[in-house]
Structure 1
């Protein structure tokens, strides 16, 4: 009987010890936290935290427990098998994936990935199976790949967002909310939210009631900006400066660095932004999985660790930016920038 009691006590001690180690790898969200702040605090990336916690957006809430290290992911979720994917000819999309990340992971170009899967845009969803090598040319053991590329998913199946509370007509603002977070939750853009609630700025306050559903006429209010026209002005302004030399800290037409180029072009195109570093702009923008012309593209670990370079996405897998060669257009398949690619984002 004594032996049995001692054994049980030993098991209890080991369990408590393991629980303590696991707790060191998690974080409880506090008022005012954002994924970016938490990622910096634990020396990791927003994309990693979203993947480990299976988040489909940047939205978090107070008292939410988040995994903030790979060790915790391994201890709590052993069934996830990423390793076999490396040798496979197909890949299953997981939460947080983008086409460019999948292409980089399998050492192929974005154009090849889209061609092999019959994709017309960048939209993908968790659970989707993608070819990551040319159909019919895999080097496996006799498992034949179907010759025709799989058709893109039906439109109704594509949105991965949970689209909570469709009948809800109002939302009460909580601590830490932004218009962008609220819009993502309810499938609306910031412009739509502002038009539906007659807001002249992005300022909101705790306890404020916001309309988050309505007729299509309400969502596309007459006063809402013409985004395509804004993008055209932005890209036209950016291309005016092709060939301008690189100057460290430069933010005018005599010379630009990467963030100075963003500052100048966006302000000239009518969007007032402060002069910040690439990392500063990274922390004031949100992730997009289906990048559009005019969005931001970020790179990491170039001349320093972390976010260190940025440009403006032009579409067709190209971006315009200011690097050591001056202002120029570069492909995302460029070997150097493909290696250092981090994410597509959009200003709040």
Structure 2
């Protein structure tokens, strides 16, 4: 029987890893998605997603379409670290523990960085003291661990004494298989079946105490005895602790990305709201401007209408003034013509009257003309200086025929006899007997007409209106 020294990390044989390729896919970003959650669901990494889609940051928006390639390229002997990788995750991917990767690459801590190349195949040194095929590898655990329970693992090598000439087997009673239930642990299954935890792990090739509901555990069979050194469970504790730290780091990264995504969505919502508010304000300003322009246009139109009305009114007023002026000129011309006609008639009558006509106590023309001299017209007067039409007729008849006739025109009408062939000395009445004059022949008469015309000789036709008739006394 030979004695061979092994490290804990060399209990698993190391082999090369071949490449695995999958088809390219696309995914549409939904509200709440992040690059980390999409990478987890797609079986890829955040770095690969960003490289595949030319993203400069982790910011994505709902509705974005991202492409991803699930191809995992690992060389047979090496692995290139990507952003987000951990030794524990790489070990799970390539089938090695993180301690083995640290040992193969002479790492003193689990710190790695993107782009770093890790070797996946260890060199094997045979111990010259034995001829068996067993391999002796030494691993120094150099990392300082804060927990006191792993201090001994850091300071010493674990010696495993293996009897290579013969292999002892542990006989396990036949108990069949066990289906893991929710809440089970290897310890609780061990208590229930009577199979110790190490045997359970050996029978089922378990590298850690992690099991899942519905896993089927073999409970019987031959198990190669493997020295159960106490330090192995401590290393497993470290693995679990590292796994927990990695999971916490991944959760923290997911929380950070989710917070960034929420901030992006809020910023986008704020931007959309600001744009909407700006659009609404611009529309309100446009409507207000249009309404103001419409009001101004209506005011201008009303002002134009008013100006046109004023212009038309002024034009009509001017036309009316011109028409009135023309009418005044026409009336003045008519009056002037009538005056000329009257003057001509009076001149003709004077010429005709120059031939004396005998009647009564003397010439009617001479008596009436002499009686009118020095008198003025005053309504209601009857004196040597002032008379009206009826008092002048009364004074004339007293001198001409010595007759005393009534004072008023209506009474004088009643006292006389109407004649159709007038002679000098007859009285002529006008306009419903409201005026009376002394007829002196040849269409002429002497009368007291009004204050402006006075008492004098004039044609019978000079009086406006109509002639009622001639009366004789």
Query: Same fold by TM (over 0.5)?
Result: no
Instruction: State the TM-score, normalizing by the size of structure 2.
Output: 0.23
Greater share of helix residues, 1 or 2? 2
Structure of larger gyration radius = 2
Instruction: State the TM-score, normalizing by the size of structure 1.
Output: 0.31
